[in-house]
Chain A
Amino acid sequence: MHRFDRAFRFVLPAAAVAILATVLSVGWFTQPDRFAKGYAPEQPIPFSHELHAGTLRMQCQYCHSGVDKSRHAGIPSVDLCMGCHKVTKTDRPAIQKLAQIANSGQPLPWQRVHTLPDHVFFDHRPHVNAGIACQSCHGEVQTMKVVTREMGMRMGNCLGCHRDPHAALPTGSKITKGAEHCAACHR
């Protein structure tokens, strides 16, 4: 056996496989999108979008009122909830907890479900004003008991739609493309 045969036949292929396996597994474990989808944390108040937005057919903007005025859609302030829940379902323990928070003024830390990577300045206004439905990015929220993340919200998601937005836009919209330059979102 030539003295390099052993190296060529066994060591080199084994090393190649080992390196490939390492790269792939590290890549798989570190891919940012892996755990993004399906993220559904437990919230301090078990608020059901299925009930409010689905069964009761409340408009998204009734609570997320900043969405057409501000970059942020906004989480409703506790007093907005109390607008109804002063009289509605006051016997439920969750509503009693809510009332206690409203009266004491303690902070109500909702678990954030949808986040964007650092350095992104997403703005809800142009999207909502163009008639894009909330569900395009946030999924069928009106069917969710517990809000679950359905989109990874990576740059690929943004650009996919910006390059061909017609699926997300209402019929008859004149918009053919979204912005693709860096400063549209990064600044």
Chain B
Amino acid sequence: MTNWIEIGNINAIPRRGARCVNTPSGKIAVFRTQEDQIFAMENRCPHRNGPLSEGIVHGASVTCPLHNWVFDLTTGKALGADVGGVRTFPIDVVDGRIFIASEVLAVAAE
């Protein structure tokens, strides 16, 4: 049984943009696409630790601001010729309120 914790409102994130959720062990990037889909993943590019939340969001993907790796927001997998991926986290959106599984925060805090 999953417990959900509210982390913010969809309106707090610009379309084609992202915001961060700070946890004791690191940042989780929460993305909002042009079509108002919400995704969450580690805010850390596997290549050189670039903050993915600051990249350009296009379609359901984001381009890392440091060296232009592109990640699929739905799977966290690197697209194109690059190999690698970032952890994604399940998200629930109810009436514009964004929830994340509480164990994510627990795991992130480990």
Chain A partners chain B: no
Q: Which residues of A does B touch, CB under 8 Å? A: none
Q: Which residues of B does A touch, CB under 8 Å? A: none
